[in-house]
Amino acid sequence: MTFRQIASAAGLAAVAALAFSAAAWSASVEITTASKAPLGTYLTDSAGRTVYMFTADMTGMSMCSGACAKPWPPVLTTGAPTAGSGVRASSLGTIANGNAQQVTFDGRPLYYFIRDKAAGSTAGEGITHFGGSWYVLSPAGTGILPDGKELAAFGAK
């Protein structure tokens, strides 16, 4: 591989990373639902990107920043989040995250997973990383385990 090919590949990777970052920050985020086996119905944004909860978070407080936020970027908004099909509007909110607002669901901060490359991808489901586990959320506000069962006790709101 020549230097020019390496530089070109690095440039494309940087552009892809910037595109995801820009997508993670939106003037108005709509949270809606998607379904797939064995998870059942879970929360996504309007583009179909899966959103996750982090078990290390406290209600109304994100415990994922710095190195954690690179693979798990927060769902950020500059406006009020809106509810799509199957989502209770009263469950949506925001918390301060630096100079931005992070979208929450029943007080839980929401995140994307950088390895979810297409709408409907749930590659982050069930991963233990940065001192907690990451799960998709049901429209009821509980985490969903990889086998489709609801998360018990410690992970429930």
Q: What is the pLDDT of residues 108-151, one digit of tens each?
A: 999 999 999 999 999 999 999 999 999 999 999 999 999 988 88
Task: Answer yes or no: are the C-beta atoms of 137 and 108 closer than 8 Å.
Answer: yes
38 prior amide bond cis, ω within 30: yes
Average the pLDDT over 82-102 and give the result. 94
Of the candidates 85, 89, 114, the residue with the CA atom closest to the CA atom of residue 18 = 114
Q: pTM here?
A: 0.81
Of the candidates 52, 51, 43, the residue with the CA atom closest to the CA atom of residue 83 = 43
Q: What is the pLDDT of residues 14-70, one digit of tens each?
A: 333 433 444 455 578 999 999 999 999 999 999 999 999 999 998 889 999 999 999
Q: CA–CA separation, 20 vs 80, rounded Å?
A: 21
1 or 53, which is more confident?
Answer: 53
